[in-house]
Structure 1
Amino acid sequence: MKLTVFGATGGTGHEVVRQALEAGHEVTAVVRDPARLDVPAHERLRVTVVPDLSDEDALVRVLEGQEAVVSALGPASNKQARLTPVAGPALRSIVSAMDRAGVGRLSAVSAAPVGPLPPQEGVFSRMLVYPLLRRALRDVYADLAVMEAEIAAGRTQWTVIRPPRLLNRPRTGTYRRAVDANVPGGKVIARADVADALLASLSDPSAAGHAIGVAA
């Protein structure tokens, strides 16, 4: 598969690039600073610099001839999300550019607190953990909620992956999934498993048009 990865220099993004190359895909990593891409050079890896993700014409040039897109974009902090939202504006441009370039498949990482609480969620999480998270990181989740709305409004076949707290641990491949819901009791997941979920969804027709909760 010819795959373009946005947010490739982040913790989840570099895992997406690494795993995609291991799986035999041709990968275009879109970055602002190539020096921050923590992935060795590879014959099937192309690194493309796009300083401004609102430049839709530049995105179309990058996406022409591609088959799918993975977005690991997201705000680095609540302050950044409040001052300059990242994910919502970027995905608005990316989805439009995908349509113009004829790229029909997209997976993107969001966050569990953007989704609904599972009915089976424990009282502690329901009454304390989720409310505190949603208050402390409200601008981050607002940005991601806008991102999800922009994606759903487009014409792509999309999948959104909603993980809880991310850990820098090896891929297990044994994480839990919940379609259009969060995983009950889901507290953490390895970034590498989120990358696995993002890539796996691209070849899973049943994942199209759904938000999928994942957790260890």
Structure 2
Amino acid sequence: MSSLFYADDLADRDGGALVTVDGREAHHAAVNRLRVGEQILLGDGRGTLADASVEAVSPTSVSFRIGDPRRQERPTPEIWLAQALAKGDRDELAIQAATEVGVSGVIPLQAARSISRWSGPKVEKGVTRWTSIVREASKQAIRAWVPEVTAPLPPADLVADGDAVLVLDPRADVRLADAVRTVPDSTRRIVLAVGPEGGFTPEELTRLEDAGAVLVVLGDTVLRTSTAGPAAIAVTNVALGRW
């Protein structure tokens, strides 16, 4: 199955129903040059999937005849990426690749050393932009669930009950894979925190540790902020036995 399209109301449809999409999904179809009779996968981005065939194509809409919808549950524990805002498009590259390797959610971090800053109207614009990035990356990766994008947080507010927060720090003594293997079974989310260029400040690391976060090292080299998160997610997937 090479193409995935999203229809928000898929979960409410029965097998054999005709589902029509428009807007950006129709544009996606045009880019992929869909033809009547082609077999694709339809989802709602919230765990529902259905095999579908293309019934009609126009410049503004595409109609699909769906098979019986099926449900795919979210993994437990979920893997989240707390990505510090970074200059250029490095933070966007990070969340795009993180989506492809299976992240369940993304938290924008307003770190002290972040050159990029979201404030005022930039907050809504930034969240909307990241939401669009993870949605498109989810389609490319054929994912049943589109990752959630939260409002931005400072690192000090990152630790929440039921979460295991693992903060990437090249000076840490604990290996990421070892930390993941010792996460309690009751853990709701594993949150991997990645700092901006220059990393987290000592004060931020102290606050995170005091709140219950664990500082971990990914490997023997220091990765860019754009690659550290996706690499950490890959290691976490292996340590959890998912890969």
Greater percentage in strand: 2
Q: Which has the larger radius of gyration?
A: 2
TM-score range, shorter chain: 0.3 to 0.5
Normalised TM-score (structure 2): 0.35
